[in-house]
Amino acid sequence: MPDDVRMEPAATTKWQPAPERLAPPTTGVDDLYVIGHLGIARVPGHSWRLRVHGREFTLDELRALPGTEVQAVLECFGNPLRPDEPVRRAGNVVWRGVPVATVLDLADAPEGPLLWAEGADSGVFDGTPCSEYLKDLPLDVVRDRGVLAYECNGEPLTAEHGFPVRLFVPGYFGTNNVKWLRSLTVADRRPEHLFTTTLYQRVPPGGGDPEPVRDLDVTSLVTDVHREGATVRVTGWAWGSAPVVGVEVGLGGRWAEAALSAPVGGPHGWRGFTTTVVPGPGEDVVVVRARDDAGRRQPLEGVRNACHAVPVPL
Ligand SMILES: Nc1nc2c(c(=O)[nH]1)N[C@H]1C(S)=C(S)[C@@H](COP(=O)(O)O)O[C@H]1N2
Ligand SMILES: [Mo]
């Protein structure tokens, strides 16, 4: 680890807001969950460099390149040691930065199927020492929509969220969005690493061989349930890698189709849903189920994107 990168202990590395904090269409940076498997890296901006096939970019150089902005959901896959457990860590924020393609072109990067992205954080996760955080992603997808983000919601990234620069790929699980990014390398094979070939692998929902977790599942989150006279209003957000086309709210075995609003900020932002339901005696839990235009629907239970079930307040 270079001397100028300081790791903060694991106690500060995991945080998430209560669901009601996620009611605003754009999530405040203070309400954006934080995950750092190895701790939080404190990286000084002046000495930081992004290495890309022999080229080095300073933060000022990146900021001087033509920028782009994308609002999209950042969502955590969950604890990689318990991959079936829903954690509902997500936010919908605005990223500003440089398209990854711009930097790959300036560096004359070769072609290849994969892009390795390395973060400057180091430490121990689940007993395994790591000299860096590492992910590998399909180069065509990253070239198409990946951003080297240096701002979130119009402000420089905070240390928790990856200062000076992080990778962001709309539609992909949070684990792929490498914080404290320090190098990008085009490659023709997957790297062996705790965070690539060991953890964050799963049998895809349709079955088959384990694959790296990339495309977001279809999912939804309830941010508010309150009584309005004899009815109960249920409100929240739904999103996934494919466009959400419907959200149903269940109560006592009956399902009501909710009204949907347009995705907030762009195609990879979340969509609002709201509806009212009328509880019968003893019906005190609402369940929300989203579906997308790829034909996926949230399972009721047993998986990480199982339906969110929320008690009806008295
Ligand atoms: N360098 C580095 N990048 C990382 C991680 C990490 O531990 N180290 N965690 C990943 C995971 S699992 C998630 S969900 C997101 C969380 O981003 P946030 O803390 O900004 O919300 O960062 C990803 N990028
Ligand atoms: Mo995560």
Report pLDDT digits (tens) over 30-39: 999 999 999 9
* Local confidence band at 206 (pLDDT 50, 70, 90 cut-offs): confident
Overall size of the chain counted in residues: 314
Distance 108 CA to ligand 1 centre (A): 28
Distance 161 CA to ligand 2 centre (A): 12
Which of 179, 195, 199, 202 to probe ligand 1 with, by most ligand atoms within 8 A of CB? 179
Which residue has its alpha carbon closest to ligand 1 atom 21? 34
pLDDT digits (tens, 9 = 90+) for 41-69: 999 999 999 999 999 999 999 999 999 99
Query: Which atom of ligand 1 is nearest to 36's Cα?
Result: 7
With 0.95 as the threshold, say if the pTM is over it: yes
Which residue has its alpha carbon closest to ligand 1 atom 23? 175
Alpha helices in the chain (DSSP H): 59-64, 100-106, 139-145
Query: Which atom of ligand 1 is nearest to 200's Cα?
Result: 12
* Percentage, residues of the chain above pLDDT 90: 95
What is the three-class DSSP state of 99? strand
Distance 151 CA to ligand 1 centre (A): 15
CB 138, CB 162: distance < 8 Å:
no
Query: Which atom of ligand 1 is nearest to 35's Cα?
Result: 19
Rounded Cα distance between 114 and 122, Å, is 23
* Local confidence band at 11 (pLDDT 50, 70, 90 cut-offs): low
Distance 90 CA to ligand 2 centre (A): 9
CB 102, CB 129: distance < 8 Å:
no
How many other CB atoms are there within 10 angstroms of residue 201's CB atom? Answer: 14
pLDDT value at position 9? 80
Distance 195 CA to ligand 2 centre (A): 11
pLDDT over 90 (residue 254): yes
Rounded Cα distance between 148 and 224, Å, is 34
Identity (one letter) of the amino acid at 259?
Answer: A
List, in order of start, the domains of the chain with CATH numbers.
6-212 (3.90.420.10), 219-311 (2.60.40.650)
Question: Residues enclosing ligand 1, CB less than 6 A?
Answer: 32-38, 74, 76, 119, 121, 133, 161-162, 174-175, 177-180
How many other CB atoms are there within 10 angstroms of residue 294's CB atom? Answer: 12
Ligand closest to the CA atom of residue 176: 1
Query: Measured in whole angstroms, how far is the alpha carbon of residue 79 from the centre of its chain?
Result: 13
What is the pLDDT averaged over residues 17-37?
A: 97
Ligand closest to the CA atom of residue 157: 1
Query: Which atom of ligand 1 is nearest to 80's Cα?
Result: 12
Output the six-digit token pair for 151. 């701002």
pLDDT value at position 10? 67
